[in-house]
Amino acid sequence: MFSEYRIHPALLLLLYRLLCSAGEEVVRLQELEGNTVTIHTGLTGVQSDAHILWFYRSENADIKIVISLIIRGEIITDYDSERFRDRLQLNRTSGSLTIRNISREDSGVYKLHIITGSISVWSFSVDVYAPVLKPVIRNQAEKRSVSLRESCSPLCSVENGKDVSLSWYEEKERISSISSSNSSERLYLPLNKTNPDCSTYTCVAANPVSTQTTQLDITNICCKSVSGTKGPRDLSKSLAAVLTPVGLIVALLILFLWIWKKKTKQQACEDAELNYAEVKTKPHSSNEAHEVNRAGGTEVQDQTEQVRVWTGLVKSCLVKLARFSFLIEHEDESTHRTAQTLKLAVML
């Protein structure tokens, strides 16, 4: 397109030497991958007849990516770059350059040349980052104990990347931090606290353009076994889940015993009345009548006593179940052993 209007090589060399000796200031930009980025020049109005050129430095060589000239009163702009394809847009009024869907491979130094009666140069260093990943917290302790001081050793980790840092915060205060220039190695940061259940701790992974946080959950991290077996709290909750329907069954059993007891009393009364009627209608001796009544009364007493014994046992089990459920809801280091004792008592 510009074959008819080539600039003399000697003039280009002179311009290049002038630019190198100008010592222009470099503006640094940090952007998130995938965004649309505009490199602003800060200019409000570029001369209408100015020549505007944008260069991108790749492997110590400046590659021309945009050239905009005024030829015979006509503005001609060429985006001469396979690297950026159709992702560039020039604003001739300010000289600003917009890059759509920017990637980490687009990081580098961009130079703007505006040629009028003189040459003006601006340099921009653009760093493009991928969004940081969410950090993961796990318990690095090999053994579990009832005491959190002995069993809880939280370890936070995150996939490393360019300028990624990993930090622990207690409330809003940063208490430790780590970073590594080797992006191939995962970052690890332990929480060096002897009693981590007494405050709120948050692990934060960050790079210059994004941040991800994970809050420490003591119950989930430190009271669950690494091997997949259930810890004390999980075991207690599982036992409570089993005992709850058992309690319902016991309640139904009490209701059944109460109805049976009531019917037994009614039947006993009916039998007593029947015996009395038989004794009255048949010629029995007084001793025989007395024996019949005593036998009937003894049978009723035996049945009533059995109901009373079963009712007492059921009530005792319900009391123990209620106490154990209460301890499960308010379980801590001191009540856990008591809960285990009550569990054995219920089983016995």
Question: How does pLDDT run across 261-317, given as a tens digit for each residue?
Answer: 777 766 666 665 665 555 455 544 545 545 545 555 555 565 566 657 666 766 676
pLDDT band at 49 (very low <50, low <70, confident <90, very high): confident
The predicted model gives 342-348 an average pLDDT of: 49
The predicted structure's pLDDT at residue 329: 53
d(CA 341, CA 324) in angstroms, rounded, equals 9
Q: Tell me: the pLDDT tens digits for 90-122? A: 999 999 999 999 999 999 999 999 998 888 999
The predicted structure's pLDDT at residue 299: 54
Residue among 271, 222, 247, 216 nearest 324 (CA): 247
The predicted structure's pLDDT at residue 115: 92
Residue 319 has pLDDT above 70, yes or no: no
The predicted model gives 148-152 an average pLDDT of: 58
The H helix count followed by the E strand count for the chain is 6, 16
pLDDT band at 3 (very low <50, low <70, confident <90, very high): very low
The predicted structure's pLDDT at residue 4: 47
The predicted structure's pLDDT at residue 260: 72
Strands (E), 72-135: 74-78, 88-90, 97-99, 108-115, 119-129
Scan for tokens 């009393």, then name that residue. 265
The predicted structure's pLDDT at residue 73: 81
Residue 147 has pLDDT above 60, yes or no: no
Q: What is the CA radius of gyration of the chain?
A: 43
Q: Tell me: the pLDDT tens digits for 196-244? A: 767 889 999 999 999 999 999 887 877 654 444 444 455 555 555 655 6
Average pLDDT, the chain: 75
Residues 6+ apart with CB under 8 A from 45: 93, 94
The predicted model gives 155-168 an average pLDDT of: 95
d(CA 136, CA 113) in angstroms, rounded, equals 47
pLDDT band at 13 (very low <50, low <70, confident <90, very high): very low
Q: Tell me: the pLDDT tens digits for 15-30? A: 444 444 444 678 999 9
For residue 213, give the amino acid letter: T
Residue 44 has pLDDT above 80, yes or no: yes
